C-alpha cells in the first residue's frame, strides 16, 4: 500500500469490466461502491471532487456542475443516460436525503476517505477478477480511455481529452493514457 501523498501509477479498467463490476456490486448489496465506480467512470472527476458529490448534484439532472478542487476550474459535465439510470436505481434502494453526500463513511456523516476508497477498490476489483494497478484514479482513466477508443483513437479525440482533463498538452494526455508506451513498443515490433 502506498503512503499518503506518494505518487503511484494507476491503470485504466476495460469498460466492460467496469460495467460488469458495477452490476455485480449492486447484486451483492455493495451499493456505495457500485455507484462510486459508475459515477467515477462516467464523469471522470478526480476522487477529491467525486467523494464530495451530493445526491442533489446529480439526481434527475442532465448536467453536473462542479468547480474542481485541484484546478479551481468550473466544469459542466453531461450526465450519460446510462449513468442517470444507475443513479436513480441505487438512490431508490438506499433512499437517502437528497442533501446527503453520495459516498458517506460508515457513520453516515462525512464523505468516505480517499485512502479507504483506494483500499476498497483494490479489494473489489481483485474479488471480481479484474487485474491491474487499481486505484480511485483508475476511474478517471477508464473514462478517458473509453472516449479515446470510441472515437477511433484519433488525434482529435486526444486534443479534446486533453481539454476535458485540463492537461497542459496532448503529450501529457498521451502519457496519461499510456499511448506513448504503446507506440514505442509497437516500433520494436515494426522492424
Active site residues per annotation: 46, 70, 137, 140, 167, 176
The torsion angles phi and psi of 6, rounded to 5 degrees, stand at -75, 140
Reading the block at residue 51, the C-alpha cell is 467523494
**All cell numbers assigned to 43:** 464523469
Determine the Cα–Cα distance for residues 40 and 50; give it in Å rounded to an integer. 7
C-alpha cell at 136: 480511485
Question: Are the C-beta atoms of residues 48 and 39 closer than 8 Å to each other?
Answer: no
N- to C-terminal Cα separation, the chain: 39
Where b means 16+ CB within 10 Å and e means fewer, 157-176 reads bbebbbebbebeebeebbeb
Residue length, the chain? Answer: 191
- 114: which 3 cell numbers? 480517499
3-class SS of residue 104: strand
Amino acid at each position: 500500500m502506498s503512503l499518503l501523498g506518494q505518487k503511484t501509477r494507476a491503470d485504466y479498467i476495460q469498460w466492460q469490466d467496469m460495467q460488469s463490476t458495477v452490476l455485480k456490486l449492486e447484486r451483492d448489496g455493495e451499493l456505495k461502491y457500485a455507484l462510486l465506480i459508475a459515477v467515477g467512470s462516467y464523469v471522470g472527476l478526480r476522487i477529491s471532487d467525486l467523494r464530495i458529490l451530493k445526491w442533489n448534484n446529480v439526481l434527475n439532472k442532465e448536467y453536473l456542475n462542479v468547480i474542481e478542487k485541484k484546478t479551481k476550474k468550473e466544469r459542466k459535465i453531461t450526465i450519460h443516460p446510462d449513468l442517470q439510470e444507475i443513479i436513480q436505481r441505487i438512490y431508490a434502494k438506499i433512499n437517502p436525503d437528497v442533501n446527503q453526500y453520495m459516498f458517506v463513511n460508515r457513520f453516515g456523516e462525512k464523505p468516505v476517505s480517499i485512502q479507504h476508497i483506494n483500499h476498497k477498490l483494490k479489494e473489489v476489483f481483485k474479488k471480481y477478477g479484474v487485474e491491474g494497478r487499481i486505484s480511485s484514479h483508475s476511474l478517471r482513466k477508464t473514462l478517458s480511455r473509453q472516449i479515446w477508443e470510441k472515437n477511433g483513437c484519433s488525434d482529435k479525440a486526444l486534443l479534446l481529452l486533453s481539454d476535458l482533463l485540463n492537461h497542459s498538452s496532448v503529450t501529457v494526455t498521451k502519457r496519461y493514457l499510456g499511448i506513448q508506451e504503446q507506440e514505442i513498443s509497437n516500433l520494436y515490433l515494426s522492424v
